């Protein structure tokens, strides 16, 4: 039966029972007909799959839901890799099990894919800040049609603060994806960030859409919000550092590309935000980070001669590179000032 579908909506499920029904109903309510909903049971142990099986039985489109089970909880990255392996349709769309999508989401993305033969189609996202009384924060792309290589990574890396690092709300050509050999890394957080940033240089045809079709639920108890806890284990922060370090190694392979300055700057800014949070949350972190360890986080992927040869963001990269060589007192002062300015900007 799966062979007749055009699109797989891939949804990893782990401990999302309170929100799963609404998410699945929005997937099943799509105006586009040729959709299989592939639910990856990632070792759920709180009855989330009971919701899935109930909808299989009672929903008019219940037969379009296929369940694949992992023997144990392996994390979102491994779950998404399973979904890639299990997908038998030409196109794949990832969705989290506590988010919702508009009824014409897949129809809109498929229309754009067919018009431009796009390998990836991105639509815009709304974040619902449920920690702050349900405040809505839109993240909108311009309408942009990519028709040649290097164009998409140049745009994405130069807009690192606004280009979404999530793989959700993106229609992906499965044949293209498998040809790249891309896999999600085994990381507790930021597996999307690594996957997407490594995938972008392979893309030659893509479409970005300003229409908001995805509603991301930003919850206080989300698995990704480790920084909000009263006690934070140092090893968890190091996992985030490890994700950026992997991308820095990847960046070294792209030093000849016109967007290398954009990417290296974006990665260094990610590291600066990490170090800023280390300083801000220093009383919650156990064991503590030394200044030497924080400066090691800020090591630039390129040597100075390569940085000076960059076509774009050359001097921004020089400034960020200098942080790892500063005297410790000056380094801490610069990071503290950065944190204060960012906090003031948010107010």
Q: What is the pTM of this model?
A: 0.93
- Locus of tokens 């309408």: 143
| Higher per-residue confidence, 231 vs 12 | 12
Task: Give the confidence band of 113 by pLDDT, cuts at 50, 70, 90.
Answer: very high
Residue 134 clears pLDDT 90, i.e. is over it: no
If you average pLDDT over residues 129-136, what whole number do you get? 68
| Residue 119 near residue 205 (C-beta atoms within 8 A) | yes
- pLDDT, tens digit (0-9, with 9 covering 90-100), for 240-251: 999 999 999 999
* DSSP labels, 28-77: HT-S-S-EEEEEEE-S--SSHHHHHHHHHHHSTTGGGEEEEE-SS---HH
Task: Give the confidence band of 222 by pLDDT, cuts at 50, 70, 90.
Answer: very low
Task: Give the confidence band of 229 by pLDDT, cuts at 50, 70, 90.
Answer: low
Q: 29 to each of 100, 120, 177, 211, 278, how far by Cα in Å?
A: 11, 23, 26, 18, 43
Residue 90 clears pLDDT 90, i.e. is over it: yes
Task: Give the confidence band of 161 by pLDDT, cuts at 50, 70, 90.
Answer: confident
Residue 132 clears pLDDT 60, i.e. is over it: no
Residue 165 clears pLDDT 70, i.e. is over it: yes
Predicted pLDDT of residue 189: 77
If you average pLDDT over residues 123-150, what whole number do you get? 87
Residue 226 clears pLDDT 70, i.e. is over it: no
- pLDDT, tens digit (0-9, with 9 covering 90-100), for 303-312: 999 999 999 9
Q: What is the mean pLDDT of the chain?
A: 92
Using a pLDDT cut of 70, give the percent of the chain over it.
Answer: 93
If you average pLDDT over residues 95-112, what whole number do you get? 97
Task: Give the confidence band of 210 by pLDDT, cuts at 50, 70, 90.
Answer: very high
Predicted pLDDT of residue 232: 87
Predicted pLDDT of residue 2: 44
Tokens of 70: 């992992």
Query: Which domains are assigned to the chain?
Result: 2-218 (3.90.550.10), 226-346 (no CATH)
Predicted pLDDT of residue 347: 57
Task: Give the confidence band of 223 by pLDDT, cuts at 50, 70, 90.
Answer: very low
If you average pLDDT over residues 98-122, what whole number do you get? 98
What CA–CA distance (Å, rounded) separates 66 from 3?
Answer: 12
What CA–CA distance (Å, rounded) separates 92 from 265?
Answer: 31
Which residues, 6 or more positions from 122, have their beta carbon under 8 angstroms from its beta carbon?
141, 164, 169, 170, 206, 207, 208, 209
Using a pLDDT cut of 90, give the percent of the chain over it.
Answer: 81
Predicted pLDDT of residue 112: 98
Predicted pLDDT of residue 218: 73
């Amino acid at each position: 039966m799966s062979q007749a579908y055009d699109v797989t909506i891939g949804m990893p499920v782990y401990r999302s029972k309170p929100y799963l029904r609404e998410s699945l109903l929005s997937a099943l309510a799509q105006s586009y007909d040729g959709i299989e909903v592939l639910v990856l049971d990632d070792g759920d142990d709180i009855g989330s799959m009971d919701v899935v099986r109930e909808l299989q039985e009672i929903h008019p489109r219940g037969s379009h839901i296929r369940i694949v089970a992992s023997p144990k909880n392996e994390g979102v990255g491994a779950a998404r890799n399973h979904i890639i392996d299990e997908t038998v349709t030409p196109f794949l769309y990832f969705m989290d099990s506590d988010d919702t999508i508009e009824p014409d989401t897949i129809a809109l993305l498929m229309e754009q894919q067919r018009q431009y033969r796009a390998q990836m189609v991105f639509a815009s996202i709304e974040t619902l800040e449920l920690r702050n009384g349900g405040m809505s924060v839109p993240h909108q792309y311009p309408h942009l049609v990519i028709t040649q290589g290097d164009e998409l990574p140049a745009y994405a890396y130069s807009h690192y603060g606004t280009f979404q690092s999530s793989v959700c709300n993106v229609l992906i050509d499965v044949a293209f994806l498998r040809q790249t050999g891309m896999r999600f890394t085994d990381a507790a957080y930021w597996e999307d960030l690594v996957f997407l940033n490594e995938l972008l240089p392979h893309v030659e045809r893509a479409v970005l859409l300003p229409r908001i079709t995805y509603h991301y639920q930003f919850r206080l108890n989300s698995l990704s919000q480790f920084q909000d806890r009263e006690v934070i284990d140092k090893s968890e922060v190091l996992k985030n550092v490890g994700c950026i370090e992997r991308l820095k190694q990847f960046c070294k392979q792209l030093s000849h590309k016109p967007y290398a300055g954009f990417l290296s700057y974006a990665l260094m800014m990610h590291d600066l935000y990490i170090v800023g949070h280390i300083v801000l949350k220093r009383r919650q972190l156990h064991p503590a980070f030394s200044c030497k360890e924080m400066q090691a986080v800020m090591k630039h992927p390129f040597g100075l001669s390569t940085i000076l040869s960059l076509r774009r963001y050359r001097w921004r990269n020089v400034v960020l590179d200098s942080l790892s060589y500063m005297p410790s007192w000056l380094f801490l002062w610069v990071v503290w000032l950065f944190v204060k300015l960012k906090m003031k900007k948010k107010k």
